[in-house]
Amino acid sequence: MYWDENCSRPVTVITWGVIDLGSAKNVTIYVRNEGNVPATISLQTENWEPVSAANHMSLIWDYNNELINPNERFKICLTLVVSADLRDITGFSFDIIISTVE
């Protein structure tokens, strides 16, 4: 994952900031196929802190299984959705895993 279209600034941390209950926040990133064959990618999240945050938040994206050719760059919008019933969580963290589909 990269912040820029040239894929020169890797994403190491996404700071989501304040997100109102029942709303969502978007972040634009870029991915590049660094392999030798066309590929599709998948999105997963893990290591939620606190663990209960995963019950009230979800990460979605606008990627639709398009084939990404070797060295091709692809713009993706990640959206963190926060449910209106979230309570007692003032800070959170989680890992985003984007990997190729075998």
pLDDT value of residue 102? 64
- Positions of the chain with pLDDT lower than 70, given as ranges: 102
Nearest to 43 by CA among 21, 23, 27, 19: 27
Q: How far is the C-alpha of 47 from the C-alpha of 65, rounded, in Å?
A: 25
pLDDT value of residue 89? 81
**Hey, what are 60's tokens?**
């979605």
pLDDT value of residue 90? 80
